[in-house]
Amino acid sequence: MQMSLVSVLIIPTLRVGMHPLRLRVINGPPSVHCSIPTQSMGTIIFSIRKTASRINPLPQGQRQPSEKRTNLMLQVEKLHQYYGGSHILRGLSFDVKIGEVTCLLGRNGVGKTTLLKVLMGLLPAKEGAVQWEGKPITGFKPHQRVHSGIAYVPQGREIFGRLTVEENLLMGLSRFPGSQAKQVPAFIYELFPVLLQMKHRRGGDLSGGQQQQLAIGRALASRPRLLILDEPTEGIQPSVIKEIGAVIKTLAARGDMAILLVEQFYDFAAELADQYIVMSRGEIVQQGRGENMETEGVRGLVTI
């Protein structure tokens, strides 16, 4: 589809309650009309880069196909990855849906972390495709994926040990303009009250469980629509595991975020999963709904 740069002059005409606007296109298709509230009155000249199909209005009540709402946030299709001569990921295909926790399970060395690195653009996909909100992102760099609304909490947390808790959290705001990145969002401290109590401590002085909460809080500060968590329970005391599980449930219940959770702790995953995926030797060997994990024998597939 051909792209064109269209210059538009907006000239308001007065009407009670709303202003019908005539958009005179200086170089492009004929005029179109729209309305704005009276308080938005004014003459505006601007340039927009649009496709021709979006400039021509559709019949009332009809949407462009790309505007249809879907609960599929992430779609992975026939994904392959290699390390040298080793075939690590073997044609993986799955979806991650908004408002759901998708749990990816498997024993050590089956390719779970490699998959996450491919999803974040830290490793290139050798074959296959990754789509995010209906758009291909297979070739996106990591920062482009973050700006698209994807956040990643890696295995091992990787916080900045010499920065304070507050400074670590502010790093999560890096995708926003400076004027919007001056203060830690209040909801982070509501989810993790311990971070508020320790906001002036260095990250390296926190316990392992507190560092994990800090890593999740930093990711959430970017206000993602997809949160990817790589084994958040690893090396964490049971009390903090419960707190992290409660936070994940809260986030999923909001209905505006998809969560991809990689986990080896079966009981933790079974409690949270809306859908599950089991990997073995780089392949998906079983998947289904979370409520069926026990009856479908998932525990036996992931325990050592």
Using DSSP's 3-state secondary structure scheme, residue 59 falls into coil
Using DSSP's 3-state secondary structure scheme, residue 291 falls into helix
pLDDT in the model for residue 24: 41
**Cα separations (Å) of 95 from 127, 133, 227?**
17, 11, 14
Round to whole Å and give the CA distance between 220 and 173: 9
Residue type, 40: S
Question: Is residue 159 packed enough to be buried (19+ CB in 10 Å), middle (13-18) or exposed (0-12)?
Answer: buried
What string of pLDDT tens digits covers the 304 residues of the chain? 444 443 333 334 334 444 444 444 434 444 444 444 444 433 333 333 333 333 333 333 333 443 344 567 899 999 999 988 899 999 999 999 999 999 999 998 899 999 999 999 999 999 999 999 989 999 999 999 999 999 999 988 789 999 999 999 999 998 888 877 889 999 999 999 999 999 999 999 999 999 999 999 999 999 999 999 999 999 899 999 999 999 999 999 999 999 999 998 899 999 999 999 999 999 999 999 999 999 999 999 988 6
Question: Is residue 42 packed enough to be buried (19+ CB in 10 Å), middle (13-18) or exposed (0-12)?
Answer: exposed
Using DSSP's 3-state secondary structure scheme, residue 271 falls into helix
Phi, psi of 116 (to 5 degrees): -65, -40
pTM for the structure as a whole: 0.75
Phi, psi of 206 (to 5 degrees): -80, 160
Residue type, 286: Q
